[in-house]
Every structure is written in structure tokens, then in C-alpha cells.
Amino acid sequence: MSSLRAGDHHRNDDCEMRSMTSYFSRMRSLALNSSVSSKSSHSANGTSSKPVLVMGNPSADLDSFVSAVVTSFCYNLAENDAAYARRPIYIPLLNLPSVRASDLWRLRPEFGVALRLALGESPDTVGKEGREQGKTDALKELVTIADIKADEGSELHKLFTDSKNSESQPSDATEKQSLFLVDHNSPSIPGLSDEAISARFTVSGCIDHHVDENYVAQDADPRIVTTGIGSCTSLVVTHFRERGMWPSCSSEQPDEQGPNTPHIDPEVLQQISRLALAPILIDTWKLRAKGDKCSDTDREVVRFLESVIATTGTGHRDAASSPRSSQPARQSAPAGMAEWDRDAFFSCIATAKANSLDLLTMQEVFDRDYKAWTERTSGSSSGGGGGGGGGGGGGSGKEINIGISSLVKPLSWLVAHAGTGAVDAFLAEIEAFATDPARRLGVFCMLTRTGDGRKEVAVLALDEAVEGAIDAFEARGRDELRLSDWSASAAAAAAGDGGPGGSSDGEGEVKGLTEGLTRKFGDKGRWKIWWMGDTSKSRKQVGPLLRDAVRNL
């Protein structure tokens, strides 16, 4: 990273990079290198150490992605500071065991759009490219768990192989791979059991905005678990500002600089600042979201990053682009960088995200923004067979796998997207997803969003042992989530959202959905759909309620 520094004559060829694209390329090279441990050191005294993997949650959304990138970038920039001379390299890793980086343009197009905008392309240019707007060379340089699993030459390969592979278990605690968690605080890697994760990894640091699951040790550095924040990236930027480690160019904001503040090229500072703004603006709906979807921390970080863009772009601030303004005007930028326009930046990424499901199969749709947990019921009976669940066996209850898919389209669109024989095809896709050997779900939940901003919650109990979970979830969530029965008004939502089959087709498919669910999964003791009246709530609130309902059966 030394070549990113302004006026820094120290050379470190192992970490040379001149832009965010070259940074990603170098990190990918290290992750897939057969000698990653011995080559991961970038300290001035040549000390070698294993890298730290900076990893977001399994939903691998924009916030997890950018939080990991910004965290690794800022720690790696500290390479030449004496206080951090022995710090290892931090490698950003996307928690996607089945998605290669080469497929991200289609499966996560908003990543590519955010990167293109961060690298200086204009929203007008990017937005006109339709379905291929997520394509960019920078996206191919990221590294996912699937990339590591596909490269048997990588020293990291064995960490992510099947849980039953005893050769992949470290023989000594000191050999465990260090993880830095962002956007979650209890490590979850699809395909690896909790036991395998515990045996192979140790958590050295954490920055998160979800409910504390008390997994991360109290002496982890840092250990930041703060709820009520819209975007984890806001906490990441705040952390590095407070430590004086947020990068600066030599003339930019001297009041923000500390003794360890790295100085980098203004264009690179523009790139990392714009990239950091992407998930914050998306998750807070451009700072307009209600409740804990947008906090003072989010607003302050946006103010700060936009002031960085303003000062590195023009060398001064004018009244129109003052960071104190809640709606900043367009700001000029360095040569080769599009001028900053918050509204256009947000709209370009939001549109790419909203349309992202169009390119996917139904299995990819469910898996795109998916998180899973395993909970043990408290009762002594493990119940009957059913469609899924954990290993069962000993203990006072039964282990149940719970999965939640967050979707940016309504149920009517999903039914139509399933294709010929829409309702039956849709339900068959649900069954295939839930019963996949890698998931074996006992409970499957879908959180959807209609075109007018309403949210649907669908919960299916696929194991007879958890039939009572639906009523328990409703009892716990009715007030907190403002749940109300899903009724004929769903047909109106279908007409408004249309879907691949057209609005009239969508309405007809919705009418047949309840009959199809009953036919496929049983009566309403096995499934239920609600409207979620409090649209500020998301999986962050639904997940704990559903897990608690299963745990207390």
C-alpha cells in the first residue's frame, strides 16, 4: 500500500497498488497464494505472520462487502507506522461459499455499480448499460470463499472444506486462522458446522450493528457491537476516524489527522470515500429512513465523507457543497472522476439492487440475501420427521436449522418469476431450496417488499417439531413488527407490481398461493403470511424473534 501514500518514498513491492482496483488485485493474489502466510507480512522489520481475514455475514450484501473492504484497506495502510509495524495483512473476504468473483456482476450487480461509481464513472453512463451495468474488472478481483475452495493451491483452502474432513482441523490452537468480523458478531459460514468454525478460526476483532450474540471475546480489539445504527460501514468509518487511521491527503482536513494518519493520493481517497458512502446511503435510504434504520452516527459519517469528497475535489469548500447541508449540491472532482451527486449516486445503485433478481434463477433468488442459524428446541420431544432440521440426537430438544431470505420483490413477483405453472413451480423451488443437503431447513422465512414499500413476512414450518413456532413468532412479533394478516389486499399489491407475467397474471397467482401452500405444506399451523406494518424493521429484528420462537418450543 506504500504506493498509495502521498510523498512516501518507502517501497514495499509485495503490497504495491495505485488504485482500489490494484488493491483488490493484490489482496486476491495473497488469498490465493500457496505461501500466503509467509508472504502476508508488510512490516518494516520483515516480521512474518498469518493474514487476518476480514469477513462479513453470509448474506454478503453491500454493507458487508464494503465494511470488509474499508476495514482491510485502513488497517493495511498502517504498514509503515511504527505503532503498527507488526500488524499482519488484512484480506477482505466475501462470505459466499458457492459464488465465484467472476459471477458477482450478475448475482450482486449493485457491487459492480457501486465500484464503478466509486472509481469515477458517472451515474448516467453506468445506468444506461442495463443488465450488464454491474460488469467491471474491479469486481473480478475480489475474493470469495468459493474462489478459495476452488483453488487447492491456496493455503486457505483447507479452512473452508467439508466439516467432516479431519485433515482440515488445526492440530494446535496457535494454528487457528484469525477472523475480523464485520456486519455480524458470531461467525457463520455456510457448509461449515459451528464446531468446525470454532476449531479452525479465532475472532480477533469485530465491528457490527446487530444484537450482541456474546461470541466475540471481551478483549477482542476492536470489539464494537452497537445496535441502532443503519449501516455497519458507518461504525467502520467512525472507528478509524477515532483512532486517527482514516486516510487523508496532505492538505485535507488537518483537524482530522493524527500522528498515525496515512496520507494517500487524492484520487484514491475519493474512491474509498465514495465506496464507503454506497451502503450507508442505501441502508438508510439516503438518510431518510425511520427508527434504527438511520442514526446520528450514519448522518455524521455521510457528512464527513462528503466533506472529504468536496475538499479533495476542489481543495476548498463552497457554501453550496457545505457538509453541513442535508442536501449537498453537486461537487467537482479530480480529473477522471465524475462530480459528486448524492441523489444520482444513490438512485443508480438502488435501481441496480431493485432489478437484480431479474437475472437470477429461483434458487439464486432465495440464496442472494440469505442467512441461517441453528437453534435447539427446549422440549424433550424431537417430534416427527418433517422436511428438515438439524442433526437431532442428544440433548433436551432437537436442533432446527432456520433460514431467512430477504427479497426486494413481493410474493406476487416471485410466483410469476418461477415460470410455467407458477404457484406449483414456486412451491417446488421453495422445497428444493429448503431441503438441499447443505441447508436442511426446519423453518424457512421470506421477507419481501412490494413496489409501494410494504413488506411481507412468510414463515414455513417444514419440520413437525416446530409447528408451534409460527404462533409463537406471531405472538412475539405482532406488536414489535406490527404484523397483520395477509389478505385479499395482496392481490392489489400484485396488480401494482406486475411481475414477469403481467399484473393480471400476478393477481391470479396470488389468489392461488394460499391454496397451493396448504396443499403443499399443510394447514396454517405449518405456514403463515403477514404484512409487516413497521417497514423500518428488517431481518435484524425478525431473525432474533424467529430464533427465540424455535428455542422456546
More reliable by pLDDT, 315 or 367: 367
> Which of the pair, 500 or 18, is modelled with greater confidence?
18
Residue 134: the pLDDT is 94
Q: Is the pLDDT of residue 324 over 80?
A: no
Residue with cell 484497506: 73
Q: With bands split at pLDDT 50, 70 and 90, how would you rate the model's confidence at 85? A: low
Selection from 337, 535, 366 nearest residue 455 by Cα:
535
| pLDDT above 90 for 80 | no
pTM score of the predicted model:
0.81
Read off the amino acid at residue 109.
P
Cis amide bond preceding 222, omega within 30: yes
Mean pLDDT of the chain: 83
What does 301-342 look like in DSSP terms, one character per residue? Answer: HHHHHHHHHHHHHHSS--GGG-TT-SS---B--STTSPPB-H
pLDDT at 242: 96
Average pLDDT over residues 342-359: 94
Is pLDDT larger for residue 41 or for residue 543? 543
Q: How confident is the model at residue 378 (pLDDT cuts 50, 70, 90)?
A: confident
Give how far Cα 473 sits from Cα of 58, 131, 179, 406, 527, Å: 23, 38, 33, 17, 11
- Of 495, 527, 500, whose CA–CA distance to 511 is shortest? 495
pLDDT digit string, tens, across residues 444-458: 999 999 988 899 999
Distance CA 468, CA 546 (A): 11
- For residues 302-322, give the mean pLDDT: 68
The CATH number assigned to the domain with range 360-551 reads: 3.10.310.20
At residue 170 the predicted structure's pLDDT band, cuts being 50, 70 and 90, is low
DSSP letter string over 65-102?
HHHHHHHHHHHHGGGGSGGGTTPBPEEEEB--TT--GG
pLDDT of residue 35: 59
Confidence of residue 509 (pLDDT cuts 50, 70, 90): low
Give DSSP secondary structure letters for 431-479: HHHHHSTTT--SEEEEEEE-TTS-EEEEEEE-SGGGTHHHHHHHHHHII
Which residues is 52 bridged to in the sheet? 90, 178
The pLDDT of 246-259, averaged and rounded, is 64
Q: What pLDDT band is residue 258 in, cutting at 50, 70 and 90?
A: low
Lowest mean pLDDT among 150-164, 441-455, 478-492: 478-492
Q: Does residue 543 contact residue 370 with C-beta atoms inside 8 Å? A: no
2-352 carries CATH number 3.90.1640.10 = yes
Domain residues of the chain, as ranges? 2-352, 360-551
